Amino acid sequence: MDDLQTVLAHIRRLLEAGLTANGHGFRLPIMASVDREGKPSARALILRHVDFEAREVRLHTDSRTRKVEEIGAYPYVMLVFNDQVANVQVQLKGCASLHQDDVYAEDAWTGASRSSRRAYLTEAGPGSSIKYPASGLPADVAAIVPDEARLRQGRHHFTAIRICFDEIEWLLLDGSENRRVAFRFEADSGWVGNWCVP
């Protein structure tokens, strides 16, 4: 790939494939943020929505997680996507906003699968200490996906993370033909790319 517009189209296709193809390398990006001590904090999340034209990515999380606190204090984050089959890595950088009690969050909640929404019924927040290995789910839902009324009881723990990205870095590792591009979004001209040494 030797054309910047071709690279942008390639990035878009990979992100969109990550939404629908289980096992795709872009399905589970790593989101990096900064913790309260100024140290890096990273974790894998499931990609839930991509709107490349709007420069938007959406992820879901439990409102009791550290990442919610971190984004609330410092909203600039990075997402790292890696497809080992295609030997492509993409980094997206941008500002994240947290949505819990608004239309955006409600739309994300209703659009999520019932099995995904069941995770928000845990009695303690993710990362809480427990005495023995367990899912943290209450006994009545531990082995089933409950009805909508029961799922709704976990709604207050649900947070949609909306990331508006304004920087993209693409790296293709292809033996002797490695390629790297850094893109920055500019309001008056759109995506502006520069080739970089891989």
Domains and CATH numbers, the chain: 4-196 (2.30.110.10)
Position 193 pLDDT exceeds 90: yes
- The 10s digit of each residue's pLDDT in 104-149 is 999 999 999 999 999 999 999 999 999 999 999 999 998 899 999 9
Query: Which of the four pLDDT bands, split at 50, 70 and 90, describes residue 98?
Result: very high
- Comparing CA positions, the residue from 100, 31, 37, 93 lying closest to residue 67 is 31
CB 51 within 8 A of CB 19: no
Query: Which of the four pLDDT bands, split at 50, 70 and 90, describes residue 73?
Result: very high
CB 127 within 8 A of CB 65: yes
Global pTM reads 0.94
Rounded CA gap, 52 and 98, in Å?
19
Position 177 pLDDT exceeds 90: no
- Comparing CA positions, the residue from 170, 166, 195, 198 lying closest to residue 11 is 170
Would you list the DSSP string of 68-130?
HHHHHH--EEEEEEEETTTTEEEEEEEEEEEESSSHHHHHHHHHS-HHHHHGGG-SS-TT---
CB 19 within 8 A of CB 50: yes
* Backbone φ and ψ of 71, nearest 5°: -65, -35
Look over the chain and give the mean of its residue pLDDT values, rounded to a whole number: 95
Q: Please tell me the predicted confidence (pLDDT) of residue 163.
A: 98
